[in-house]
Amino acid sequence: MVPEESDEIERYVGGLPEMIRGNVMSYEPKSMQKAIESETIKWIKNTLGLPTVKPTTKGSLTILQGTNKTNN
């Protein structure tokens, strides 16, 4: 018996850390590839401390919320 892809997705997501699992499940991935892509993006953001908010643009200056702006 070959497992359904949805069963594989549930097992994969079930093994993720809890802080990432909820985010991936809220995305409702329809394929294993989408589940992996979503998890990878969330993991990178959480691990590297990257902002999860969209940057705002004022003119040609892009500002990320929570960062310091310096001009050298």
pTM: 0.41
- What mean pLDDT do residues 27-43 have? 77
> Token pair of 39, please?
């998890």
- pLDDT band, residue 6 (cuts 50/70/90): confident
Half-sphere exposure of 18 (CA within 13 A, CB side): 0
Cα distances from 2 to residues 12, 14, 25, 48, in angstroms, run 16, 19, 23, 37
Contact status, residue 56 vs residue 63, Cβ threshold 8 Å:
yes
The H or E element that residue 27 is part of is: helix 18-27
The 10s digit of each residue's pLDDT in 57-70 is 666 665 555 555 55
